Amino acid sequence: MICSFCNKSFKKNQGIDTCSSCPVKGCGMIKCPYCEYENILETRFSSILKRFIT
Amino acid sequence: MVNCHSEENLSKKQNNLKRIILIGQPNVGKSLLFNKLSNSKLIVSNYPGTTVTFTSTKTIINNKKVELIDTPGIYSLNTITKDEEVAKKIILKADADVYINVIDAKNIDRMLHLTLDLIKLKLPLILVLNMSDESKKCGININSNKLEKLLGIPVIATIATNNQGIIELEKRIFKPNISKLKIKTKSKNILDVSISKQKIIDKILLSCVDYKKSKKDIFYEKISTYMTHPVSGIIILFFILYFALFKFVGEFGAGYLVDIIETQLFENIINPFVNNFLLEYVPWAVLRDLFGNQYGIFTFGLKYAIAIVFPIVTSFFLVFSIIEDSGYLPRLAMLIDSFFKKIGLNGRAVIPIVLGFGCDTMATLVTRTQETKKERILTTLLLALAIPCSAQLGVIFAILSGNVIALLIWFLIMILVFFLIGYLSSKVIKGKKPYFYMDIPPLRIPKISNVIIKTIARLEWYFKEILPIFILASVLIWFGKLTGIFDLFISILQPIVSMMGLPAKTAEIFLLGFFRRDYGAAGLYDIKHLLTVNQLLISSVVLTLFVPCVAQFIVMFKERGLKTALGILFFITPFSFMVGYLLNLVLMLFGVVL
């Protein structure tokens, strides 16, 4: 995926996991390893919708 | 034959084989070039950084047996991801005969940073300007002969998708060169190194690249410059705040949409239906209060979540996705870098601050990425104190939108508190001065489909998170009412709120605000008709400054430690009430009736 802040490419599994230390688990964010900006992860519903829109 | 390895399996170079390594940033066409040179059936994916493992093949080029290695995408030798680490290890350990640095020609100014890193390593190098057709379309004409002389390495322009330049690359592939270009830096500091490299790149590009920019590019560049200029940048920022947040989120989302859903749907249809149903079929008043009436799960928890918070966060997420996709945020970081430096922060703090407008809890987690301890504590404090979350912001805009002066006073108080507390805290908290450096990506027009998908994904995650909490809060309030604990807390808060000139009812919203910021905001929206504009202003100021919600406090404790978290909590609580009290006093003294 491409970071919305710094525009650099990274793989989902390279994103920094913060969920383990957050009490509000499952917010669906993934942190860019380069700038640490939190990007939204696609949900199942949004990816189905994506297929229709794009 | 194509093999995939882990980097530990990088075999020793065989004497009869020339080893060639392809290096470059993600999405520059390395894998495609690898495929063209090897004729193998490697799958070429446009998705960034195909795999952490690298790909190699044995093939024949110019009648010579070669081992061709494709490395994962790497932005710089200061590696961050595992992909980059693997690529760096291969570069340093492979002892190759030829290193081919593949770059995207249209982004040559940013791509040459890695090239200079490789030159510094004294590697036998070839530079491939891939996608040269796209660079020409963008008006970037590169004189590769001149560039070759300046860099001291062979430079070959290619269009790998249609084989252009591949034959020339094959012809010159065994004639790499170790550049004698000297790259001197003042210090090993990343910022100094980057500035030095950029100066060299600018000098090189000035003499060998002809930019014929389109009107569109010139326009984008001008806009970008205006966005980061201290005067025009602030005007643009206010313009965005006014139209995107005040008009759209505040007036449209929190005003118009909430009115439709709350009044038309919940007040007129759902709540009366639930209450009548409970009255008819549930004989126990205690159970009726759990599901309906004033604080019931359906009539209170769901109403707040669906009728008040949902329209506000939807409009906020929509606007946020547009801003995010336009490339404005890094420019905002550059703009406020100089302002933030005065309070011991830098432009990097924009990331948690901006995210705080979505959710302060998540934003507090992001503060761990800041460079110095001083920055981390300062940002945590400012997030807890002066940054309202999306629902809070929407509600405040909605309830104060009828009176622009009241909204302006609220805004000025927040700015004043932010910078004053930030400035004073930076004097108290000792630590190193931070620096800020980042590449500014190009401005882009947001894709509607992308914006919609992001908004929906955010909403989905948000509701998964808040619905159970809102329902739980309803149950806790019901339990608190049943046992008298809720009324006890209210009675403790009531003298404080009356000192601020607020009615007793507002004590409830501060209590709700501690469960979740948006819960308190929804509560304030619900009782707005009971308050005067002066009282609405004071409530909005106190609610924004008031103690962080439970989740944010837990994160503060986990990230900064108990001492700092409690310190922030014990500072914010009396401070917010003191500001409310002073505001009320000033308004009364000057006889201001908004």
Chain segment B362-402, per-residue pLDDT in tens:
788 778 767 778 888 888 999 988 888 877 888 888 888 77
pLDDT (0 to 100) of residue A11 = 77
What pLDDT, in 10s, does the model give residues B263-312? 888 888 999 999 999 999 988 888 898 898 888 888 888 888 888 888 88
pLDDT (0 to 100) of residue B231 = 92
pLDDT (0 to 100) of residue A24 = 57
B18-24 and B64-70 strand pairing:
parallel
pLDDT (0 to 100) of residue B174 = 92
- Tell me the chain B residues in contact with residue A46 when contact means C-beta distances shorter than 8 Å: 453-454, 456-457, 460
Amino acid at B167: I
Closest CA to B84 of A10, A35, A4: A10
The structure tokens listed for B151 are 């860099």
pLDDT (0 to 100) of residue A16 = 63
pLDDT (0 to 100) of residue B149 = 93
Amino acid at B224: S
- Tell me the chain B residues in contact with residue A22 when contact means C-beta distances shorter than 8 Å: 361-362, 365, 555
- 10-residue stretch averages of pLDDT, chain B, 594 residues long: 51 76 90 81 39 75 87 86 83 90 90 92 94 87 93 94 91 92 74 81 90 82 91 92 85 86 88 92 89 86 84 88 89 84 79 80 76 84 87 82 87 92 83 68 86 86 77 84 86 90 88 78 85 92 84 82 90 92 93 84
Residues B425 and A11 sit within 8 Å (Cβ to Cβ): no
Distance, in angstroms, between A8 CA and closest chain B CA?
A: 9
What HEC string does B496-518 produce?
Answer: HHHHCCCCCCHHHHHHHHHHCHH
Local confidence band at A21 (pLDDT 50, 70, 90 cut-offs): low
Q: Which of B438, B453, B465 sits opposite A50 (nearest CB)?
A: B453
Edge to edge, the sheet with strand B18-24 lists B2-5, B54-61, B64-70, B18-24, B98-104, B125-130, B155-157
Residue linked to tokens 């986990």: B558
Question: Are the Cβ atoms of B465 and A24 closer than 8 angstroms?
Answer: yes
pLDDT (0 to 100) of residue B453 = 87
Residues B481 and B289 sit within 8 Å (Cβ to Cβ): yes
Question: Are the Cβ atoms of B365 and A2 closer than 8 angstroms?
Answer: no
Cα angle value B367/B369/B372 (rounded, 5°): 85
Residues B53 and B86 sit within 8 Å (Cβ to Cβ): yes
Q: How far apart are CA B350 and CA B354, in angstroms?
A: 6
- Tell me the chain A residues in contact with residue B461 when contact means C-beta distances shorter than 8 Å: 26-29, 40-41, 43
What are the backbone dihedrals phi and psi of residue B532, each rounded to the nearest 5 degrees, phi first? -80, 170
pLDDT (0 to 100) of residue B40 = 55
pLDDT (0 to 100) of residue A23 = 60
The structure tokens listed for B409 are 């006073």
The structure tokens listed for B232 are 């025009």
Interface of chain B toward chain A, CB-CB under 8 angstroms: 26-27, 48-49, 73, 75, 80-83, 324-325, 327, 329-330, 351, 355, 359, 361-362, 365-366, 369, 438-439, 441-442, 449, 452-454, 456-458, 460-462, 464-465, 550-551, 554-555, 558-559
The structure tokens listed for B164 are 């252009």
Q: How far apart are CA B456 and CA B475, in angstroms?
A: 28
Question: Are the Cβ atoms of A34 and B75 closer than 8 angstroms?
Answer: yes
CB atoms within 10 A of CB B470: 25
Task: Report the Cα–Cα distance between both ends of chain A, in Å, rounded.
Answer: 16
pLDDT (0 to 100) of residue B575 = 93
Q: Where are the alpha helices (DSSP H) in B429-516?
A: 448-483, 485-499, 506-515
The structure tokens listed for B248 are 């759209």
The structure tokens listed for B429 are 């908290």
pLDDT (0 to 100) of residue A47 = 78
pLDDT (0 to 100) of residue B15 = 67
Residue B345, judged by CB atoms within 10 A of its CB (0-12, 13-18, 19+), counts as buried
Q: What share of chain B is helix, strand, coil (3-state, %, to 5)?
A: 65, 10, 25
* C-alpha distance from residue B243 to each of B68, B250, B309, B400, B407 (Å): 55, 9, 20, 15, 14
Amino acid at A53: I
